[in-house]
A and B are shown apart, each in its own frame.
Chain A
Amino acid sequence: MAILASRKVVKRFGGLVAVSDFDLEVRELSIHSVIGPNGAGKTTFFNCVTGFYRPEGGEITLDGHMLVGLSPDRITRLGISRTYQNIRLFNNMTALENIQVGEDPHLRSGIVGAIFRTRRVRREEQETVEEARRLLRFVGLAGQGDLLAKNLPYGSQRRLEIARALAGKPKLLLLDEPTAGMNTQETAEMTAFIRRLRDELRITILLIEHDMRVVMGISETVTVLDYGEKIAEGPPAQIQSNPRVIEAYLGRGSAARAN
Chain B
Amino acid sequence: MATQRSSPFVTAVQQGAIAGGVAVLLTLMGMVETFNERDIVQGVISLGILLLVAIYLVFGSTTARTLSQSQVSVRIGASALAGAIGELFLVGLVILGQQVNLRPVFPNASPELWEILQFGLSAPQSYLAMLGFGAVFGALGAGLTLVSRRYRGPVIVGFLCVVLIGLLDDLIGITIASNPMFATSPVIETINQFFFAQGVENGLSKAGAVVVFLVASVLAYHWPTLRSGARSRTQAMPAGRQHTLALSMYGLFVVILLILPNFLGPYLTDVSNSVMIFTLMALGLNIVVGFAGLLDLGYVAFFAIGAYTMGVLTTTAVGAESGQIVWGPGLTFWWALPFAVLFSLMAGVLLGIPVLRMRGDYLAIVTLGFGEIVRILALSDALKPYTGGSQGIVEPAMPTVGRLSAALSSQGLYYYLLLACVGLVIFVAIRLRDSRQGRSWMAVREDEDVAQAMGVRLVSTKLLAFASGAAMAGLAGAVFASKVGSIYPNSFDLLKSINVLAIVIVGGMGSIPGVILGSLVLFGLPELLREFSEYRYFVFGAVLVAMMLTRPEGLWPSTKRKQELHENMGPEADPRPQVLSTPGEAGSV
Q: Are B449 and A52 in contact (CB-based, < 8 A)?
A: yes
Is A92 on the interface with B (CB-CB < 8 A)?
Answer: yes
Q: Mark A120-137, 1 if CB is under 8 A from B, else 0.
A: 010011001000001101
Asked if residues A114 and B437 are in contact (CB atoms below 8 Å), the reply is yes
* A24 CB-CB contact with B under 8 Å: no
Complex formed: what's the CA distance from A252 to B462 in Å? 52
Contact between chains at A104 and B454 (CB < 8 Å): yes
Which chain B residue has the least Cβ–Cβ distance from A92? B564
Kindly state whether residue A84 has any CB partner on chain B within 8 Å.
Answer: yes
Nearest-Cβ distance from residue B58 to partner chain A, whole angstroms = 32
Chain B stretch 503-523: residues in CB contact (< 8 A) with chain A: none
Chain B nearest CB, measured from A148 CB (Å): 6
B438-454 interface bits toward A, Cβ cutoff 8 Å, 1 = contact, 0 = none: 01101100110111111
Contact check, B585 vs A90: say whether CB atoms are below 8 A apart: no
B541-589 interface with A by 8 A CB criterion:
560, 563-564, 567, 570-571, 573-581, 583, 585-589
Across the interface, which residues of A come within 8 angstroms of B146, CB to CB? Answer: none
A134–B587 CA distance with the chains assembled, in angstroms: 10
A139-165 interface code vs B (CB 8 A; 1 in, 0 out): 111101001101111011001000010
Taken together as a complex, chains A and B put the C-alpha atoms of A210 and B560 apart, in Å, by 37
Check B447–A92 contact: CB distance below 8 A: no
What chain A residues lie within 8 Å of B454 (beta carbons)? 73, 76, 81, 101-102, 104-105, 164, 167-168
Cα distance, A139 to B589, chains bound together (Å): 11
Distance of B329 from chain A, by nearest CB (Å): 29
With both beta carbons as reference points, the residue of chain B lying nearest to A88 in the complex is identified as B450
Interchain CB contact under 8 A, A90 and B442: yes
Please give the distance in Å from B465's CB to the nearest CB on chain A.
Answer: 11
A109 within 8 A of B: yes
- Contact between B436 and A107, CB atoms less than 8 A apart: yes
In Å, the complex CA distance between A192 and B582 comes to 10
Q: Does A117 contact B (CB under 8 A)?
A: yes
B415-452: CB near A (< 8 Å → 1, else 0) gives 00000000000001001100111011011001101111
A185 to B447, CA, bound (A): 31
- Across the interface, do A147 and B446 meet the contact criterion of CB distance under 8 Å? no
Given contacts A101-B451, A104-B440, A153-B573, contact A134 B457 (CB under 8 A): no
Closest chain A residue, CB of each to CB of B432: A114
Task: Evaluate contact between A140 and B578: CB separation under 8 angstroms.
Answer: yes
B586 lies within 8 A of A196 (CB): yes
Q: How far is the CA of A77 from the CA of B456 in the complex (A)?
A: 9
Give Cα A148 to B571, complex, Å: 10
Contact, CB under 8 Å: B573 / A73: no
> Within 8 Å CB of A125, what residues of B?
435-436
With A137-B585, A201-B586 already in contact, the answer to whether A93 and B455 are too (CB < 8 A) is no
CB contacts (< 8 Å) of A137 on chain B: these are 581, 585
Residue from the list A73, A140, A152 in contact with B457, Cβ < 8 A: A73
Q: What chain B residues lie within 8 Å of A97 (beta carbons)?
A: 439, 442
A115 contacts partner chain B, Cβ-Cβ < 8 Å: yes
* Given known contacts A73-B452, A90-B450, A148-B564, A109 and B573 CB-to-CB distance under 8 angstroms: no
B458 touches A (CB below 8 Å): yes
**Structural contact, A139 and B435, CB atoms closer than 8 A:** no
Closest residue of chain B to A97 (Cβ to Cβ) is B439
State how many angstroms separate the Cβ of A84 from the closest Cβ of chain B.
7
B453:A72 contact, CB within 8 angstroms = yes
Does B464 interact with chain A (Cβ within 8 Å)?
yes
- Cα distance A59–B454 when bound, in Å? 22
Contact A140 B564 (CB under 8 A): no
- CB <8 Å contact, B589 and A153: no
Most buried by A among B454, B574, B575, B587: B454
Contact residues in B for A254 (Cβ distance below 8 Å)? none
In the assembled complex, the Cα of A58 lies from the Cα of B148 at a distance in Å of 72
- Would you give the 0/1 interface string for A82-125, flagging 1 where the beta carbon is closer than 8 Å to chain B? 10100011111100010011101101010100111100010011
Q: How far is the CB of A47 from chain B (nearest CB, A)?
A: 10
CB distance from B188 to the nearest CB of A (A): 45
Q: Would A117 and B570 count as touching, CB distance under 8 A?
A: no
CB <8 Å contact, B570 and A151: yes
- How many angstroms between the C-alpha atoms of A56 and B588 in the bound complex? 41
Instruction: Decide if A193 is an interface residue (CB 8 Å cutoff).
Output: yes
**Residue of B with least CB distance to A147:** B573
- Does A30 interact with chain B (Cβ within 8 Å)? no
The residue of chain A having its C-beta at the shortest distance from the C-beta of B443 within the complex is: A101
Report the minimal beta-carbon distance from B183 to chain A, rounded to whole angstroms: 45
Q: Establish whether residues A100 and B439, one from each chain, have CB atoms under 8 Å apart when the complex forms.
A: yes
The reply on A247 being an interface residue by CB < 8 A is no
In the complex, what distance in Å separates the CA atom of A82 from the CA atom of B235? 45
Quick one: which of B312-363 are within 8 Å of A by CB? none
B583 to chain A: which residues have CB within 8 Å?
Answer: 196, 200
Contact A93 B432 (CB under 8 A): no
Q: How far apart are the CA atoms of A238 and B575 in the complex, in Å?
A: 40
User: CB distance B446 to A73 under 8 Å?
Assistant: no
Q: A71 near B: Cβ within 8 Å?
A: yes
| Contact A201–B451 (Cβ < 8 Å) | no
A21 to chain B, nearest CB (A): 26
Instruction: Kindly state whether residue A222 has any CB partner on chain B within 8 Å.
Output: no
Contact A71 to B580, CB < 8 A, known contacts A92-B560, A101-B439, A109-B435: no
- Provide the bound-state CA to CA distance between A140 and B580, in Å: 5
Note all chain B residues with C-beta closer than 8 A to A167.
454
Which residue of A has the minimal Cβ distance to B564?
Answer: A92
A50/B574 contact (C-beta < 8 A), A115-B428, A193-B580, A200-B583 known: no
| Chain A residues in 8 Å Cβ range of B588 | 134
Is A186 among interface residues, defined by CB-CB distance under 8 A? yes
Mark interface residues in B94-124 (1 if CB within 8 Å of A CB, else 0): 0000000000000000000000000000000
Assembled-state Cα–Cα distance A52/B436 (Å)? 24
Q: Does A249 contact B (CB under 8 A)?
A: no
Question: Would you mind naming 11 contact pairs between A and B with Cβ atoms under 8 Å apart?
Answer: A73-B455, A73-B456, A92-B564, A104-B455, A114-B435, A121-B435, A140-B579, A144-B574, A150-B567, A152-B573, A196-B583
User: What is the interface of chain B, defined by CB distance below 8 A to chain A?
Assistant: 428, 431-432, 435-437, 439-440, 442-443, 446-447, 449-458, 464, 560, 563-564, 567, 570-571, 573-581, 583, 585-589
Nearest first, the 3 A-B pairs at minimum CB distance are A114-B435, A105-B455, A90-B446
Q: A88-B447, A105-B455, A140-B580 are in contact. List 4 more A-B contacts (CB 8 A).
A: A88-B450, A92-B442, A111-B437, A186-B577
